[in-house]
Amino acid sequence: MSSNSQTLTPQATPDVGGLAPVAEGRRRGRPPAEPAAGQGRKKSLMARIRRDKVMLLLIAPGFLYFVVFHYVPLAGNIIAFLDYKPYLGFVDSVWVGLDNFAAMFQDGAFWEALRNTLVITGLQLALFFPVPICLALLLNSIVSNRIRKFVQSVVYLPHFIGWVIIVAVFSEVLGATGAVPHLLESLGLQRFDAMTTPEFFPFLVTIQSIWKDAGWGTIIFLAALMNVDQELYEAAAVDGANARHRLWHITLPGIMPVIILLLILNLGSILSVGFEQIVLQRDNVGPGAGEVLDTYVYFHGIQDGQWGPAAAVGLVKGIVGLILVLGANKLAHLFGQEGVYSNGKSK
C-alpha cells in the first residue's frame, strides 16, 4: 500500500528509532569519533564549522533537495484554503477559508473514493498480509539451500517490475483473450474480463499486489524465522513434539512480534493504495469502483482544474495518514517493539 508514487522502498523498514546519536553511542559502546586533536565539544561554533566545512558542503545538495521538493511543497498545501486560479497564483487567489473542506464533505465522489480506498486496503490486509508469512514458512522449511535460493530469486523478481509492465502483463493473462478466461471457459464456467469488471476491481488490485510484492515481503519474515532459537526445536523434538507441534508452539510464537509489528504498521497506512497501480487502471472500470483518494486528487485537481477542493482532500488524507502512522508506531511501542517509522510503503 503506498501513497507516494515516487519512492522505491523495499519491504524492510529502517530502524530509525535507533538513529539518535546518543542511543547510537551507547549501543555501539564506542566513543564518538572525535577529531584527531580530541578537543571535542569545547571548540567554539566557528571552529567546529571550520572543522566540518567539507562535511557540511557534502550535505548541502541533499538538504537543499529535501527542502525544495518536500518541505516547500508542504507549505504549498495552503492552496487548500484558496480559490486557486493558476493565472492568479498563490498571492492573488481569493482566500476562502474552510469552504473547500465543506465542499469536500458534500461531494459524493469524495465519499465514494474514501469507500473504495478502504475496501481495497481492507482486502489487501485480509488477503495479502498472510501470504508472505505462509511463503516464508514454506521457504524456511526447505532443507536444500539451492532450491530455496532458486525459489527466492523467482519470487523476488516481480518486485522490480514497474506497474505499467505489470498491468500490461495482467491484461495479457487475465484480459479478454488471455489464458485465464480460456481456462474458465474450458472448465465450463462463465468467462469474464477480470480487467474491466468493476465488482472484481478490488480483488484484481490485490492479486496484482500479491504477485508483485508477496515474495519480496518474505525477506523480513525469513530473517525473523532464522532467528528463532534452534535449541528450542531440538529440545522439543527430544521431548516428542512433532513438526506440527513445533510450528504451533515454537515457530509462530517466535515470529509473532514481527507479525504484530507489521500488522500495526499496515493499519497505519490504510488510506494509501498504490497510486501508480490504480491510476493506470481506474478508467478500465470507471471512477465508481476505481477512484481512490489519491486518484481523486489527481483527476479533480490537476485534470479538471479544481485545485483548491482537490488539495483539501489531499491535505486531509495526508494529515489523517500521518496521525495513523504515528499512532501505529505508538501502538508498536506499547507492544514492546522498537519504534520503526515506516513511510507507509510496507507492501
The interface region with other proteins, picked from 100-108, 118-126, 196-204, 292-300 by CB under 8 A, is: 292-300
Contact between 110 and 97 under an 8 Å Cβ cutoff? The reply is no
Among 103, 112, 118, 337, binds other proteins (CB under 8 A): 337
- Report the residue number, 20 or 98, with the smaller CB distance to other proteins: 20
Residues in the chain: 347
Q: Does 153 bind other proteins (CB under 8 A)?
A: yes
Contact between 279 and 295 under an 8 Å Cβ cutoff? The reply is yes
What does the block give as the cell for 1?
A: 500500500
Contact between 290 and 116 under an 8 Å Cβ cutoff? The reply is yes
Among 26, 76, 92, 102, binds other proteins (CB under 8 A): 76
Contact between 345 and 25 under an 8 Å Cβ cutoff? The reply is no
CA distances from 132 to 8, 107, 284 (A): 19, 38, 29
Among 124, 206, 301, 328, binds other proteins (CB under 8 A): 301
Among 130, 162, 198, 288, binds other proteins (CB under 8 A): 162
CB of 291 to other proteins, least distance (A): 14
Contact between 182 and 174 under an 8 Å Cβ cutoff? The reply is no
- Report the residue number, 120 or 340, with the smaller CB distance to other proteins: 340
CB of 138 to other proteins, least distance (A): 6
Q: How many residues bind to other proteins according to rule CB under 8 A? A: 135
Q: Does 320 bind other proteins (CB under 8 A)?
A: no
Query: Which residues, 188 to 207, sit near other proteins by CB under 8 A?
Result: none
Among 10, 99, 119, 193, binds other proteins (CB under 8 A): 10
Distance CA 282, CA 295 (A): 8
Among 118, 184, 237, 267, binds other proteins (CB under 8 A): 237
CB of 292 to other proteins, least distance (A): 12
- Report the residue number, 45 or 187, with the smaller CB distance to other proteins: 45
Distance CA 153, CA 147 (A): 10
Distance CA 297, CA 305 (A): 10
Distance CA 235, CA 209 (A): 39
What does the block give as the cell for 302?
A: 490537476
Q: Does 88 bind other proteins (CB under 8 A)?
A: no
